[in-house]
Structure 1
Amino acid sequence: MARNLELGALGEDLAVEHLVARGLVVLARNWRCRYGEVDVIAQVGDAVVFVEVKTRSGRGYGTPAEAVTHAKQVRIRRLAALWLREQERRWPRVRFDVVSVVLAPGCEPELTHLEAVF
């Protein structure tokens, strides 16, 4: 389990570096409430972006992004609604992204950013 947590943390760090390099401003990482967690909440222009980061050590079970099932999407939308209710600012646009990270042993990290995918 510790290995998976380390892998996930490294993937999330790489994803945040990527998002910042693309001009997004990170508002929160690992935002939690009693119903779950959102990996990254960021801002780009007038939009708030909820980002799910999935990291795998290979593609033996498909791409990391394929692990963001419909049920996971519904949960993230609910969490986003809770986060938005807590904010003083009102956001005219909301977007849901997935960042897929493959960290195969002996290979360069492979990152794919899917914007507005659900």
Structure 2
Amino acid sequence: MAQHNDRGNEAERLAAEWLVAKGYEFIQSNYRYRHAEIDLIMKYKGILIFVEIKFRSGTGYGFAEEFVDYKKSELIISAADHYVHEKDWHKDIRFDIIAVYKDQKGNVSFKHFEDAFY
């Protein structure tokens, strides 16, 4: 597996642990529908949350959250729509972005963008 995939998987694991520590309930990771993938599906206060994780080891090429463009959000929304119908979910949903940053010393930090798109 490519190194960027390893880093992405690690970022998803760290973000899931971080969200669980904040009171979120882990539902599923890497949900796929056609050409789309939802990194994490979580629940919080009765809301089903679809989370896109973006990892960066620096901001030289831009902030992580800037890499969720219109096309990416449309793919995530499509997969989420399929998941909602598949699970017969009738309550609120939300789309979040978690930016995971790792500095040169290995310290990890998170930026959470709630209700980032829809």
Please, what TM-score do these two structures have when normalized by structure 2? 0.92
Q: 1:45-78, CA deviations, whole angstroms, 9 ceiling, x for partnerless residues?
A: 2210000000012111111111011111111111
Q: Structure 1: how far apart are the matches of 2:90 and 2:50?
A: 12
Q: Which amino acid aligns with 2:58?
A: G
Q: Which amino acid aligns with 2:40?
A: V
Q: 1:19-69, CA deviations, whole angstroms, 9 ceiling, x for partnerless residues?
A: 101111111100112232100001112210000000012111111111011
Q: Which amino acid aligns with 2:99?
A: S
- Root mean square deviation, CA, Å: 1.3
Q: Which amino acid aligns with 1:12?
A: E
Runs (5+) with no aligned partner, structure 2: none
Instruction: Answer whether contact 1:42 1:48 (CA < 8 A) is retained.
Output: yes
Percent identity over paired residues: 34
Q: Which amino acid aligns with 2:29?
A: R
Q: Which amino acid aligns with 1:62?
A: G
Deviation at 1:105, TM superposition (A): 2.7
Mapped pair 1:74 → 2:62: no
| Number of residue equivalences | 117
Q: 1:70-115, CA deviations, whole angstroms, 9 ceiling, x for partnerless residues?
A: 1111111111001111004x23211000000112332411211111
Equivalent positions of 1:89-104 (< 5 A) are 90-104=89-103
Q: Structure 2: how far apart are the matches of 1:48 and 1:61?
A: 31
Change (3 A) 1:54 1:35: same
Greater Cα shift, 53-62 or 99-108: 99-108
Q: Which amino acid aligns with 2:7?
A: L
Structure 2 partner of 1:6? 6
Instruction: Answer whether contact 2:36 2:78 (CA < 8 A) is retained.
Output: no
Q: Which amino acid aligns with 2:103?
A: A
